[in-house]
């Protein structure tokens, strides 16, 4: 009896490719990498470059400026300048009037507002200083009284953003000297104490912030001289500069009106690798400076106490209330009437103020000028 054959059936067909042996999985993966590896590598490199430049940073999508907290109040706008000075507008959303509004380190105006009203609060040094455009995040603390209940309340919140504006050292009304040293010795301060290039020192177009002058040391007479003593008496003052020294171990006269014929003057200098202040007696201390490296140095005399700064931070403080006397003029890079301690290296951005700058201001100056 013949076997049953289903209708329309046909013999089993096998595709020729099915008879070929299977390739190992490792070989397939290798071929994939060879074919697409360069494309994958290019995508990784491009992605890393975009991340490095900030394209994929959260700030690029949500914005860097934000405020949180401030229970019952809305921080409708705020700004922080490079000195850390805060200005913030708070809107009263508590539903009733409040009074005695204040913030730590400052005040608010008006101090009393109705429901829905605004008050503007300002505080100095509310946040650390920072370079213009750099980011900050900090806490804001304040107080108010609920006018309905008479109960005191604490107000606290967090703000985040970028430092806005620029604190320009030479705009300060107490500046008596600001030398940018851009191929001249012109004074950018309100005092107009222009200097003379003696020697002259050598102009260098690219230094810490723009150009500067290079001085050849005791073997030369290169220095910058003013036509005024600039600082005398026992009052407060501040002097700052960027220096890059060939040999910090020897005496390098940065600024002052001290001289062999003016022993009562002041000398601001680097010696034995550290920052020094001399007015009848020496005050010195802090870390040792390395050769051929830029440093921001500052001398602040406040109520008879001298504080030495290095790269925006205080490094030594001691009493020295001795009067600065004599009529010899102020010089940078060398003494008023002698060359034995002439600076060997470079000076940039030299400033003098007729007041004691705060630690916050010194730090802000360092941050601003260090940004280039």
Cβ–Cβ contacts within 10 Å for residue 361, how many?
24
Least confident of 21-35, 164-178, 274-288, 302-316: 21-35
Q: What is the predicted pLDDT for the residue at 167?
A: 63
Q: C-alpha angle with apex 115: 112 to 121, nearest 5 degrees? A: 45
In the chain the first and final C-alpha atoms are separated, in Å, by 103
The pLDDT score that the predictor gives to residue 35 is 66
Residue 53's pLDDT is 44
Return the pLDDT at 19: 45
What is 252-286 written as a DSSP string? EEEEES-BTTBTTS-EEEEETTEEEEEESEEEEES
Summarize pLDDT for 256-296 with one digit per residue, the tens: 999 988 999 999 999 999 999 999 999 999 999 999 999 99
What's the token pair of residue 48? 């890393």
pLDDT of residue 165: 78
Query: Could you check whether the bond before residue 98 is cis, i.e. omega within 30 degrees of 0?
Result: no
Higher local confidence (pLDDT), 3 or 188: 188
pLDDT at res. 9:
46
* Helix H or strand E segment including 29: helix 25-52
Answer whether residue 252 shows pLDDT above 80. yes
Q: In degrees, to the nearest 5, what angle opens at C-alpha 360 toward C-alphas 359 and 366?
A: 90
- All structural domains of the chain, each given as residue ranges with its CATH number in brackets, are 62-162 (2.60.40), 169-370 (2.60.120.200)
Task: Compare 210 and 54 and report the one with higher pLDDT.
Answer: 210
pTM assigned to the model: 0.63
CA distances, 340 to each of 216, 224, 229, 241, 267 (Å): 12, 15, 20, 21, 13
Q: Quick check: 309 pLDDT over 70?
A: yes
How does pLDDT run across 215-228, given as a tens digit for each residue? 999 999 999 999 99
User: Mean pLDDT throughout 330-336?
Assistant: 96
Q: What is the pLDDT of residues 53-88, one digit of tens each?
A: 444 444 444 458 999 999 899 999 999 987 788 999
SS3 182: coil
Each residue's pLDDT tens digit, 136-195: 999 999 999 999 999 999 999 999 999 887 667 766 778 999 999 999 999 988 899 999
Query: Distances from the Cα of 105 to the Cαs of 39, 59, 125, in angstroms?
Result: 57, 29, 7
């Amino acid at each position: 009896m013949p076997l049953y054959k289903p209708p329309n059936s046909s013999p089993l067909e096998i595709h020729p490719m099915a008879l070929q042996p299977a390739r190992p999985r490792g070989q397939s993966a290798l071929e994939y990498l060879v074919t697409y590896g360069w494309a994958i590598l290019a995508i990784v490199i491009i992605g890393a470059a975009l991340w490095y430049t900030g394209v994929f940073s959260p700030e690029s999508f949500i914005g860097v400026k934000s405020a949180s907290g401030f229970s019952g109040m809305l921080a409708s706008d705020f700004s922080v300048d490079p000195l850390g000075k805060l200005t913030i507008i708070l809107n009263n959303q508590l539903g009733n009037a409040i009074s005695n509004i204040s913030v730590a380190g400052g005040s608010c105006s008006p101090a009393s507002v109705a429901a829905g009203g605004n008050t503007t609060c300002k505080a100095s040094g509310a946040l650390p200083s920072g370079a213009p455009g750099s980011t900050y995040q900090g806490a804001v603390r304040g107080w108010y009284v609920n006018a309905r209940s008479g109960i005191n309340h604490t107000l606290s919140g967090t703000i985040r953003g970028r430092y806005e504006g620029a604190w320009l050292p030479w705009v300060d009304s107490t500046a008596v000297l600001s030398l940018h040293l851009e191929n001249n010795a012109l004074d950018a301060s309100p005092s107009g104490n222009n200097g003379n290039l003696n020697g002259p020192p050598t102009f260098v177009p690219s230094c810490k912030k723009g150009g500067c002058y290079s001085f050849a040391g005791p073997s030369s007479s290169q220095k910058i001289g003013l036509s005024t003593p600039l600082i005398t008496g026992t009052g407060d003052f501040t002097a700052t500069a960027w220096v890059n020294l060939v040999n910090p171990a020897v005496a390098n006269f940065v600024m002052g009106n001290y001289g062999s014929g003016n022993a009562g003057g002041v000398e601001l200098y680097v010696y034995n690798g550290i920052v020094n202040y001399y007015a009848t007696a020496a005050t010195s201390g802090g870390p040792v400076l390395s050769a051929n490296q830029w440093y921001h140095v500052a001398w602040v005399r406040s109520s008879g106490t001298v504080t030495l700064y290095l790269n925006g931070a205080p490094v030594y403080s001691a009493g020295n209330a001795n009067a600065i006397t004599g009529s010899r003029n102020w010089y940078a890079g060398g003494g008023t009437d002698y060359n034995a301690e002439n600076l060997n290296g470079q000076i940039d951005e030299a400033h003098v103020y007729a007041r004691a700058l705060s630690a916050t201001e010194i730090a802000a100056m360092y941050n601003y000028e260090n940004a280039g």
